[in-house]
Chain A
């Protein structure tokens, strides 16, 4: 039988509408959905051709329990009884990772389990590794940590400033919408990236700063705006605070000094600043509208030991130019995973309750009343710290849902050492990945195509996910597994069984909406009738919100935060490791590759780790395009294939963090952290590149701990 199921793409944070065509319960074709307002009929290669991972034979089909040192198949009852019994021992020394690939409903149930049954706020997810500095900075300066605009604003902007991200690889449909703006409306485009990304071809200004010098760059743009008198004085006076103190810091240096610090042309820096602050009107802009500018950024800003400073410097620019709260402008941290926005909204973060509500007595009391039990009011431990604190014994057991930290944490050899010291590890996922292989119990979860629920995309749009194919093997949706587990444990910790007796995802969503002001007006009924809705949506008759901050900021006034350029990075090149490693992604793979390695066509396209290197460096090292190369850092090594191109700066190499042929960039990266957000510095570390010699076979992995500093 043939069926078509309207759903939402499970890859990046754009949240494209997809239509899954199935025949006899097999997925045969993935179509675009022209009616979806986020994607408007567009898809990228992963959404269109990358879905076959769903029904791959590698899928976990039964629970696995470690017996005599081996993971062996077990019944659900046996596996969950073991997990329930063991986890009760570790209340107080427990942490949990939620999945930004699972649904809002899965996430909500998981944080409820962790807070209510395990009695801790030690829950976090991959936002810690991608946009925690952005959220941290936005909360301090504006009072909300979400993208302020919609994708339609990229098409209605008169200038787009795209910083530290590569939408062509990571958010391809957003890249298409940005290209449409440039091609059809003459929108100005400023690209800031140490790597010459594809979008730079269409840019009016392309700035290629030295890695780690972002604060100098944005302070330089601010100084240029002040020099030209292009700041929005009315906006600054009416909507912001802290301007004078911030200004005093910015004018400590001249535009020329800033430009020199980051290795860019001062004229280009001034032009970029002018275009952002006062762009010429795009074609078709109504005469009474002020030309707007959108600021979009990615991991190039955040994944630094001063990631939060970088984000502050960017948001200061938006406040200075008054490019907030109107159509065609706004600030966008582009989200990496399909539901990273929703996972945070649902409360899978250690520092706040669902809906980013603080652990204040009145807020906590509402949750305690609804859940009929006490919840902890101390902020929990952040994801990267949970891993580091395995060493101190503060974390002795973990429950990891839909994440693979042994590919995504920095310095994998170090992370692997720590995970092996856990006393009890539960992993719930689709595949037996690197982290699952170390688990005591592995629970098979359903993919997005086998369950109902909602995802929330980068433009705050809550969209439906619908079941298209039967569950694979004995796999179950995450929420169902966690409820089953919670019911085994609840009576022992004084929690009502009824708190985990949901019959459907719709019931879970209804509870989440009741407890979360920004979602209060959204229901499955409305989503099924009208399609996706953008929060805040405070009441059932509210149409949703296209852009934030039209009248005010959640914290009242927007706050300027002065920042100065710190040391570019925790580890800089030296004689032994003379090159700077930058990491990121490629279009044809998804993050660590756990899903996309199971799609043959994607593997046919990219099967080895590409190591991008500048022709000057390549020549000096005797490396030709296509050579096998070995990249070493103080922490590990990998083997990849050289791509020689001047798209990267002299002295730097770019390696995506997908694991191919056992090689992964995170064997090399540095577990140094940004203090406020605890994000690791994935974007800068020192490496050495050599042509692979015949006797270098299979050189991949971390150095043995003892020899790590040699």
Chain B
């Protein structure tokens, strides 16, 4: 298989092959550590002329993949533009989870970061002492649900409702503190937008640490 003209392994998914070659491709709903969901469509590529989501398309049987053709680049930009309409401003994040890659994806695709809250969903759940959830930054990618269910096998988080009323929730209208959540933090690590993020640690040892905006570990 060739990816952008370079030879790539044919085991696993097209996304695995793309990432193995060090090519940047957004994959907002696919955690490196978890099975694919195929929900966000931000990893669209051309595979033998068809447009497919790279994360859940097997590489076997595909001969040519293009990640940067004008067609897929435009489609991805439009998908990302629609995604950006799902959430409000970029949340303030202290600490540095590995994720938060949505902001890098916007930049790579020449999109402005949204400047004002859309307030489709605007609840905040700060009931856990360990992390908080700011709904307006959520793009419903489902990565937290997968991390909770398929990695940790706890099943504390789900997506309730449909269409514009769909929302991520720990049980039907429950809070994290009242749910079966054990605060393992796998959802926090997986969240690509920092809608789920660690609380600034209130220990004296952590006091005075500068809060910073946005993009987790990339922000040096």
Contact = CB atoms under 8 A, between A and B. Distances in A.
Given A28-B95, A34-B32, A599 B184 contact: no
A56 B33 contact: no
Given A21-B217, A31-B98, A605-B129, A52 B205 contact: yes
B151 A600 contact: no
A2 B202 CA distance: 21
Interface string A286-323: 00000000000000000000000000000000000000
A42 B150 CA distance: 11
B210 to A, nearest CB: 9
A416 interface: no
A52 B201 contact: yes
Nearest to A181: B153
B198 interface: yes
B205 A45 contact: no
Chain A facing B: main interface SS: mixed
Given A43-B186, A49-B185, A28 B129 contact: no
Interface stretch (A172-180, A509-517, A626-634): A172-180
B97 A29 contact: yes
Nearest to B199: A601
B129 A32 contact: no
A71 to B, nearest CB: 22
A307 B154 CA distance: 32
Interface in B85-101: 94-98
Nearest to B97: A29
B151 to A, nearest CB: 6
Contact of B96 (A28, A44, A52, A179): A28
Interface in A157-183: 168, 172, 176, 179-180, 183
Contacts of A57: 204-205
A31 B206 CA distance: 17
B33 A45 contact: no
A180 B96 contact: no
B106 to A, nearest CB: 22
Interface string A35-70: 000001111110011001001110000000000000
Contact of B182 (A40, A44, A183): A44
A226 interface: no
Interface string A586-618: 010000000000111110110000000000000
Given A29-B96, A31-B98, A604-B129, A2 B152 contact: no
A508 B154 CA distance: 41
A180 B166 CA distance: 27
Chain B facing A: main interface SS: loop
Interface in B197-220: 198-199, 201-206, 209, 217, 220
B189 interface: yes
A55 B204 CA distance: 9
Contacts of A34: 32-33
Given A49-B130, A601-B201, A26 B209 contact: yes
Contacts of A2: 96, 217, 220
Contact of B206 (A21, A26, A32, A179): A26
A34 B203 CA distance: 28
Contacts of B202: 600-601
B217 A45 contact: no
A23 interface: yes
Contact of B152 (A176, A599, A605): A176
Contacts, number: 98
Contacts of A180: 153
Which of under 10, 10 to 19, 20 to 34, or 35 or more describes the interface residues of B?
20 to 34
Interface string A13-27: 000000001010010
Contact of A52 (B154, B203, B220): B203
A42 B151 contact: yes
B98 A601 contact: no
A29 B209 CA distance: 12
Contacts of A52: 201, 203, 205-206
B172 interface: no
A49 B97 contact: no
Interface in B138-167: 151-154
Nearest to A202: B153
Contacts of A44: 182, 184
B51 interface: no
A3 to B, nearest CB: 10
A42 B96 contact: no
B203 A600 contact: yes
B151 A176 contact: yes
Nearest to A1: B220
B23 interface: no
Interface string B98-130: 100000000000000000000000000000011
Residue with the greatest number of chain A CB neighbours at <10 A, chosen from B97, B153, B217 = B153
B56 to A, nearest CB: 18
Given A2-B217, A21-B96, A34-B33, A28 B209 contact: yes
A602 B32 CA distance: 29
Interface string A109-152: 00000000000000000000000000000000000000000000
B60 interface: no
B189 A32 contact: yes
A45 B95 contact: no
B183 interface: yes
Contacts of B204: 56-57
B38 to A, nearest CB: 19
A34 B190 CA distance: 12
A357 to B, nearest CB: 39
Given A29-B95, A31-B97, A183-B153, A587 B201 contact: no
Contacts of B188: 48
A43 B130 contact: no
A320 B182 CA distance: 38
A32 B147 CA distance: 12
Contacts of A598: 203
B203 A49 contact: no
B131 to A, nearest CB: 8
A598 B182 CA distance: 19
Nearest to B206: A52
10 contacts: A29-B97, A31-B189, A32-B189, A42-B186, A45-B183, A52-B201, A52-B206, A172-B184, A600-B129, A600-B203
Given A56-B204, A604-B129, 15 more contacts: A2-B96, A21-B95, A28-B209, A29-B96, A31-B98, A34-B32, A41-B151, A43-B184, A44-B184, A49-B198, A52-B201, A179-B153, A599-B203, A600-B201, A600-B203
Interface of B: 32-33, 94-98, 129-130, 151-154, 182-186, 188-189, 198-199, 201-206, 209, 217, 220
Give the top 10 A-B pairs by smallest Cβ distance, nearest first: A179-B153, A604-B129, A48-B185, A41-B33, A601-B129, A34-B33, A45-B183, A29-B95, A55-B205, A29-B96
